[in-house]
Chains A and B, each alone.
Chain A
């Protein structure tokens, strides 16, 4: 699966964000995910997301609990 969206998609997204800046946040998030996902696609990323208990148990409309503390701890362990 190609990690790069088609020019048409890119154009569309740019148009959407231009029309509705409120979606800029999503675009930024998506770009960040793309930058760190190392070429992984949607299904694979979805699977990895649901591997986190907080994310998996979140219902639609819930505030998704943060996992930042656990992530930072893991980073420290990796760096050590």
Chain B
């Protein structure tokens, strides 16, 4: 399955259809994250180390202090760096070559100041280049190319950082490689990490006891990315970019989520406090008379006052009238008694006077004559005033009874009037009392109302707290606008993009597995039955004795499997005409790890056999000088220690 014919627009359309978004939305999202359709299939190119020369002076007790090492006219094939003992400069020589190719200085600290100039000549396919460090201490140098008899300076560098940058740009461009951008979650923050040429170069280095099949680092799926890149599988870096963008957004969303949660946590705490406050105020409201209640009570009191004042006004003249009527009745009683008394006294006086026989006038004292007396007595006239003195008759008794009756009537009337007066007076007293009570109550309520209005009562506090609670609840429920849809789109794009190449990759891995098994057997793993390299770069190793994974293999087996897998990768790239592995291998300490001479022989023979299968691949091995190496590596390709024991 080959997918190189899918254009960027088609790819974006596929994603948009899959996620149910507009083309423009997905297009904008991808562009914002700098994600492009990286579908270029690199044509395999070969790096060939042609020459290396080192000059300088060793410090310390050395037989030969001058450093003047030079190796020229190297070509494809197997090169061996051997010495009779360890620590004689084999590994350092490999490190120097690596430094010159990557700009990454990693030499032993005790060698500081030893090297003065280093020059490395190399070819990429047929194009010759030279990197020359004129001042090792200051990392000053140039990268040049040679063509048509001319030397052209590609770049200069004057410090270690620039040196690294120059070599990175050069090799990524020339080998059609691209850096891997990964996003690391450091302290819950997305940190972008760029893995470029130095990381990719690690695919050329085979350490004595490798833990990883491709490269040296397992983070961010680097072994898989490295394998895919060197196999020239399309869309891989696009997918890596998508995953990086997705991770970046996820970390951002987590950070936003954390901030939101922290904010929510504080808000929830405050909310609990406010709810408790509200409860307290609400309880207080139950016992506290509200302003509205006070106004209502005041209004009621005022109504009572007005009604009772009106009653007082109505009852006052009624009481006054009743009083007057009672007074009149009382006067009438006195009058009737007086008249009755007067009548009785008059009757008695008459009876007394009729018995008296006055001799003379009580005023002038003139003596009454006998004739005058008889005449008056006869006529029943008063001798003094001459007024007729009627004799008592039966009518007199009736009159007296009438007077007595008048007295009784007057008394009865007085009693009625007294009762009526008592009733209306009681009503008036009650009305006055009610009016005065209402007046006092109203005054007190007015005072309470004034106090309530000038202070914030519990009722007002409840309203305030309710408003605060509503605001906080709104804040808590208003989650930050996390762009989850963007994460979802990127996730779908990751899945879809993987579908674009996983079929092709599966086919390639089958072939790589076959080639790995073949190479591993050529390196002496004769018990190896089968190798299955999986899409996640784990490797199942089927030995005659059983099945195990790459990680469970012995160090020597792992080294051979790693070399085999790398060579298989190069071989498959070569077969397909697609891939970007530079075709150089640096195998350090090949004779270590309990590898027997027989095994070393087989490994070396295996490398030597590459002349047939991969004739343009260049392999550098290092190890203790032994027949196993020297018998199988052409003597002109052996870099052996001098008589003083050192290689340089």
Q: Is B338 a contact partner of A22 (Cβ separation < 8 A)?
A: no
Contact mask for chain A residues 17-30; partner B; CB cutoff 8 A; 1 contact, 0 none: 00110110000000
Q: Is B351 an interface residue (CB 8 A)?
A: yes
Measured between alpha carbons, how far is A20 from B392 in the docked complex, in Å?
15
Q: Is A33 an interface residue (CB 8 A)?
A: no
Q: Is A22 a contact partner of B345 (Cβ separation < 8 A)?
A: yes
Q: Is B276 an interface residue (CB 8 A)?
A: no
B-contacting residues, A58-76, CB 8 Å: 63
Q: Is B384 an interface residue (CB 8 A)?
A: no
Measured between alpha carbons, how far is A75 from B643 in the docked complex, in Å?
167
B-contacting residues, A1-50, CB 8 Å: 16, 19-20, 22-23
Tally the A-B contacts, defined by beta carbons under 8 Å: 16
Q: Is A20 a contact partner of B348 (Cβ separation < 8 A)?
A: yes
Q: Is B352 an interface residue (CB 8 A)?
A: yes
Measured between alpha carbons, how far is A20 from B348 in the docked complex, in Å?
6
Nearest chain-A residue to B345 (Cβ)? A22
Measured between alpha carbons, how far is A23 from B334 in the docked complex, in Å?
19
Question: What is the CB-to-nearest-CB distance from B464 to chain A, in angstroms, rounded to a whole number?
Answer: 72
Given known A22-B345, A23-B345, contact A63–B352 (CB-CB < 8 A)? no
Nearest chain-A residue to B338 (Cβ)? A63
Measured between alpha carbons, how far is A16 from B344 in the docked complex, in Å?
14
Chain B residues bordering chain A, tally (CB within 8 A): 8
CB contacts (< 8 Å) of B341 on chain A: these are: 22
Measured between alpha carbons, how far is A23 from B345 in the docked complex, in Å?
7
Measured between alpha carbons, how far is A19 from B353 in the docked complex, in Å?
12
Q: Is B334 a contact partner of A20 (Cβ separation < 8 A)?
A: no
Measured between alpha carbons, how far is A23 from B348 in the docked complex, in Å?
8
CB contacts (< 8 Å) of B352 on chain A: these are: 16, 19-20, 23
A-contacting residues, B207-221, CB 8 Å: none
For the residues of A in contact with B, the DSSP-based class is helix
Measured between alpha carbons, how far is A20 from B347 in the docked complex, in Å?
10
- Of B334, B338, B351, B352, the most chain A CB neighbours within 10 A belong to B352
Measured between alpha carbons, how far is A19 from B345 in the docked complex, in Å?
12
Q: Is B351 a contact partner of A20 (Cβ separation < 8 A)?
A: yes
CB contacts (< 8 Å) of B348 on chain A: these are: 19-20, 22-23
Nearest chain-B residue to A23 (Cβ)? B348
Question: What is the CB-to-nearest-CB distance from A10 to chain B, in angstroms, rounded to a whole number?
Answer: 15
CB contacts (< 8 Å) of A22 on chain B: these are: 341, 344-345, 348
Question: What is the CB-to-nearest-CB distance from B584 to chain A, in angstroms, rounded to a whole number?
Answer: 149
Measured between alpha carbons, how far is A19 from B334 in the docked complex, in Å?
26
Measured between alpha carbons, how far is A19 from B352 in the docked complex, in Å?
9
CB contacts (< 8 Å) of A63 on chain B: these are: 334, 338
CB contacts (< 8 Å) of A20 on chain B: these are: 348, 351-352
Question: What is the CB-to-nearest-CB distance from A58 to chain B, in angstroms, rounded to a whole number?
Answer: 13
Question: What is the CB-to-nearest-CB distance from B540 to chain A, in angstroms, rounded to a whole number?
Answer: 140
Measured between alpha carbons, how far is A63 from B352 in the docked complex, in Å?
25
Given known A63-B334, A63-B338, contact A19–B351 (CB-CB < 8 A)? yes
Measured between alpha carbons, how far is A19 from B351 in the docked complex, in Å?
9
Nearest chain-B residue to A12 (Cβ)? B356
Nearest chain-B residue to A21 (Cβ)? B348
Measured between alpha carbons, how far is A43 from B338 in the docked complex, in Å?
27
CB contacts (< 8 Å) of B334 on chain A: these are: 63
CB contacts (< 8 Å) of A23 on chain B: these are: 345, 348, 352
A-contacting residues, B337-388, CB 8 Å: 338, 341, 344-345, 348, 351-352
Contact mask for chain B residues 12-30; partner A; CB cutoff 8 A; 1 contact, 0 none: 0000000000000000000
Measured between alpha carbons, how far is A31 from B334 in the docked complex, in Å?
25
Measured between alpha carbons, how far is A63 from B335 in the docked complex, in Å?
9
Measured between alpha carbons, how far is A16 from B353 in the docked complex, in Å?
10
Measured between alpha carbons, how far is A22 from B338 in the docked complex, in Å?
13
Measured between alpha carbons, how far is A20 from B351 in the docked complex, in Å?
9
CB contacts (< 8 Å) of B344 on chain A: these are: 22
Question: What is the CB-to-nearest-CB distance from B371 to chain A, in angstroms, rounded to a whole number?
Answer: 25
Measured between alpha carbons, how far is A16 from B354 in the docked complex, in Å?
12
Measured between alpha carbons, how far is A80 from B267 in the docked complex, in Å?
91
Measured between alpha carbons, how far is A15 from B605 in the docked complex, in Å?
189
Question: What is the CB-to-nearest-CB distance from A27 to chain B, in angstroms, rounded to a whole number?
Answer: 12
16 pairs, CB–CB < 8 Å, chain A vs chain B = A16-B352, A19-B348, A19-B351, A19-B352, A20-B348, A20-B351, A20-B352, A22-B341, A22-B344, A22-B345, A22-B348, A23-B345, A23-B348, A23-B352, A63-B334, A63-B338
Top 7 A-B residue pairs of the complex, sorted by shortest distance between their CB atoms: A20-B348, A22-B348, A16-B352, A22-B344, A22-B345, A23-B348, A20-B352
Other CB < 8 Å A-B pairs besides A19-B352, A22-B341, A23-B352, 4 of them? A16-B352, A19-B351, A20-B348, A20-B352
